[in-house]
Structure 1
């Protein structure tokens, strides 16, 4: 199970968290977010996939950010249509992943996923709330028992250390865990020690940065 740490903002903190070697690191390009990113991304280990988070953005602006920051993944957190995702996919190189987000509550209809299967690489399920994301609460994961697809997905929404046992017991194709607000000192500033504890419990086999480079 892979780990995505989202809502990164400060260069020094980005390097600190990058030393934990998460699989994905998310940068939010939605101006209304308290974690809105507009700085420079310091050089990271190539195994970390830099992910741009967008909300109802134009294809032109998404492509501009991909080029500027050398992003390896795009997370669509708005009301992007199947047609939009297809048009974006046709603009991107094959190695750039598209993650389509769906906000889930008790009324979520999983039938909406089917048309998206061919135009994105992963789904991401987050808690439906006032904001497109970052609401800091979990949704009822039992709803995912209705999941009709074999496409791997990211699980997001208020996830902290306490949720790990439940996550590991889900009999579902959870590809990655997406964490954010539960590991923050303030919006955009992550607690490295808390993230390290979470990572060790989620992925006990994960090497730390120093061990990895010793092996290399």
Structure 2
């Protein structure tokens, strides 16, 4: 089970969280976010993949950020089309992962995923809310029983310490759950993470022996 810690903002905190060696670290480049990043990412262990999070951004800006920050993954958190994802894939190094986000509620139609199967490496399911992300609430994970694909996915949306048992239960299923994505439930303030709580969560995640 992989762990992604998203919404990192402050260089000292990035370094501190980096000592926990999460698999992914998310940096948000959406200017309307309280976790918007416009600084310098400090040197991190090479095992940590830096993820740039974008919302309806132009391909040119995304490619510039990939180069500037040496990103290993791109997370598309808006209404990006299949054609946009394909064009982006064509222009980036094939080692850079593309994660396409879908906001989920009880009426989510999984049929919308099919055209994206070949243009992204992973799906990410987040809670549908007022903002593209960081709403701090979970959706009913039972809807994932309808998941029709073998494409590995990230699970996001208000996940904290209290959700670890629910994570354990969903991990027992045949769903291709690839990673857990955490953010607001581990914050002291937007963008500033509580490393102690994150360490505890990571330890619990590792005990699942998945």
Q: Which TM-score applies when normalising by structure 1?
A: 0.94
Measured in 2, the distance between the counterparts of 1:205 and 1:11 equals 31
Which position in structure 1 is the counterpart of 2:176?
173
User: Secondary structure, in 3 states, of the residue corresponding to 2:64?
Assistant: helix
Structure 2 stretches lacking a partner, 5+ long: none
- Does the CA-based 8 Å contact 2:13-2:193 persist in structure 1? yes
Per-residue deviation, 1:106: 1.1
Per-residue deviation, 1:162: 1.1
Matches within 5 A, 1:3-82: 3-82=3-82
- Of 188, 192, 209 in structure 1, the residue corresponding to residue 195 of structure 2 is 192
Per-residue deviation, 1:205: 8.8
Per-residue deviation, 1:188: 0.3
Runs of 4+ in 1 over 4 A off after TM superposition: none
Per-residue deviation, 1:169: 1.2
Structure 1 stretches lacking a partner, 5+ long: 207-216
User: Secondary structure, in 3 states, of the residue corresponding to 1:75?
Assistant: strand
Measured in 1, the distance between the counterparts of 2:20 and 2:94 equals 27
Measured in 1, the distance between the counterparts of 2:167 and 2:52 equals 25
Measured in 2, the distance between the counterparts of 1:58 and 1:47 equals 28
Which position in structure 2 is the counterpart of 1:140?
140
Measured in 1, the distance between the counterparts of 2:70 and 2:204 equals 30
Q: Which deviations, in whole Å up to 9, do the C-alpha atoms of 1:87-140 show, x marking residues without a partner? A: 000000000000000000111100000110000000000000000000000000
Measured in 1, the distance between the counterparts of 2:181 and 2:144 equals 16
Q: Which deviations, in whole Å up to 9, do the C-alpha atoms of 1:164-184 show, x marking residues without a partner? A: 111111112110000000000
Q: Which TM-score applies when normalising by structure 2?
A: 0.97
Measured in 1, the distance between the counterparts of 2:162 and 2:205 equals 11
Tell whether 2:206 aligns with 1:203.
Answer: yes
Measured in 1, the distance between the counterparts of 2:204 and 2:98 equals 28
User: Secondary structure, in 3 states, of the residue corresponding to 2:15?
Assistant: helix
- Does the CA-based 8 Å contact 2:154-2:181 persist in structure 1? yes
Q: Which deviations, in whole Å up to 9, do the C-alpha atoms of 1:59-85 show, x marking residues without a partner? A: 000000000000000000000000000
- Does the CA-based 8 Å contact 2:168-2:208 persist in structure 1? no
Kindly tell me the number of residue pairs found equivalent between the two proteins: 206
Per-residue deviation, 1:204: 3.4
Measured in 2, the distance between the counterparts of 1:138 and 1:179 equals 11
